[in-house]
Chains A and B, each alone.
Chain A
Amino acid sequence: MRGFDETLLDEADETVRVRFVVNGRKVACEVAPRETLVDCLRDKLELTGTHAGCEMGACGACLVQIDGRAVHSCLMFAVQADGARIDTIEGLTESGAIADLQAEFHRRNALQCGFCTPGMLVNACELLSQVARPSREQIRDALSGNYCRCTGYEAIVDAIDAVAKARSAGGAR
């Protein structure tokens, strides 16, 4: 990697080229350094399933996976993610990785307006990858940064709980 080049200081308004692997596909795009990852995903890559709810990390609507971990895409500039693997709700849906969670959310109506749902699913996915049989308390704790104004949360907790049990019973994964 090269050292610091002072001409960079005069190029704040210039876009730079970044490369990611988004939902399993190599992507290159031009972004201004000040562009957050959520804006880049939504505007440049048209992945509008990731939502911006507060743009300060307080609502969880913008969660995506970066290198396999749930991260707020509003708390990162796209340039910081250069070289990273990014998975969004669209990719997680297409790969089938969260199909059981989605089905259970649907069955129990664990969503209303749906704006928080992608973030909830990303977080649920992470929780179940780390704790096979979380208690209801652990589920609520894991979702403690995900705001939902519609459901009152119980159906979401129920859905995640049911999927955890089903996955454990199935022995798969």
Chain B
Amino acid sequence: MDFGETAVKASAFSYFRAATIDQALDAHARAGDDARFIAGGQSLVPALSLRLQAPRLLIDITHIAELRGVRREGACLRIGALTRHCEMLSEPLIAEFAPLLHAAAPFVAHPAIRNRGTFGGSVALADPASEFPAMTLALDAEIEIAGASGRRRVKADEFFFDLFETALQPGELITAIYVPLFKADQRFAFDELARRRGDYALVGCGMLATFTSDRIDDIRISFFSVGNRPMRAKAAEAALIGFGLDAEHIAAAQAALEDDLAPPENDEVPPAMRLHLARVLLGRLLGRLGEGA
């Protein structure tokens, strides 16, 4: 933190409220890409107030109807980018077909933040400590992006590059996230270790597994707050696929985490401690998964 220029009032910018995706993309292009899209704004507004960012133009996308709504589309749930965090808790389709998101939602900040913050905004920001971006990995979700060259869908596995760097190009915006429908032979678990309710977690984890009786056919485990981006724990997954959730395999998965995670240097939570906490959390969640979660 640099205290030379603390600020609490944003630099001046122009504001444009877009009615359609095309209007929003057009405005961004014409601002010479010195623009930011704003949806819920729960992360962007403080960044502007603190003058960590100072775009010329703010493009409000919250009134674009196409970005709204949760509905079934074939084998997927289409979750509009503007779906608010609170809707993850209240929307029956989410509870039924994407229960991992429903389970993660209460951990996202606080009620009033959840009333404004959007799913698409959270994924677009790709904060490595946030719940939802990491859950798109566990869910094998696809992110639909609109840009000057049209629409495309990117697998969550190919979306998150590095710290706040994603497959989103300047001027592109997320329109929806497609999540495969939750199936009867699947189980999920989610938890995090946060100092206080609603804080960014020291470590968080979500998982979705497909079982044949008690044997894991497939499992996707994702962590947050353990590196520069949301992370899949592929080595841990590999240690579990084809096996039951006994102590031996849980321990193997815990051991494998060393290869999966890249905890950052941090005085308060040293990398070794974060790895330890990730292992504890993984063990607990797998235990719950074994109990049917």
Given known pairs A4-B23, A56-B46, A80-B41, the reply for A144 and B12 (CB within 8 Å) is no
Total number of A residues with any Cβ neighbor in B under 8 Å: 41
- B11 at interface, CB cutoff 8 A: yes
**Chain B residues within an 8 Å CB radius of A88:** none
With a cutoff of 8 Å between Cβ atoms, the chain A residues found around residue B9 in the complex are 34, 36, 39
Q: In the complex the two chains form, what is the Cα distance from A63 to B115 in whole Å?
A: 11
- Cα distance A55–B41 in the bound complex, in angstroms: 13
Q: What's the tally of chain B residues with a CB closer than 8 Å to chain A? A: 43
Contact B26 A3 (CB under 8 A): yes
Asked if B62 and A72 make an inter-chain contact with CB atoms under 8 angstroms apart, the answer reads no
User: SS class of chain A's interface: helix, strand, loop or mixed?
Assistant: mixed
Asked whether B46 lies within 8 Å of A32 as measured between CB atoms, the reply is no
Contacts of A142 in B (CB 8 A): 111
Residues of A within 8 A of B16 (CB): 4, 8
Task: Note all chain A residues with C-beta closer than 8 A to B56.
Answer: 9, 12
Complex contact B27–A70 (CB within 8 A): no
Tell me the complex Cα distance, A12–B46, Å: 18
Complex-state Cα separation, A75 to B42, whole angstroms? 6
Given A56-B49, A74-B45, A75-B116, A13 and B198 contact (CB-CB distance below 8 Å) = no
Q: Is the CB of B112 within 8 A of A34?
A: no
Within the complex, what minimum Cβ distance (angstroms) separates B127 from chain A?
Answer: 14
Residues of B within 8 A of A141 (CB): 106, 197
Question: Is A16 located at the chain interface by the 8 A CB criterion?
Answer: yes
Distance of A55 Cα from B111 Cα, bound (Å): 17
Given contacts A3-B23, A4-B30, A80-B38, contact A145 B12 (CB under 8 A): no
Binding site for A on B (CB under 8 A): 8-19, 23, 26-27, 30-31, 38, 41-42, 45-46, 48-50, 56-58, 60, 62-63, 86, 106, 109-113, 115-116, 196-198
The 4 residue pairs across chains A and B that have the minimum distance between CB atoms: A145-B110, A4-B27, A33-B15, A1-B19
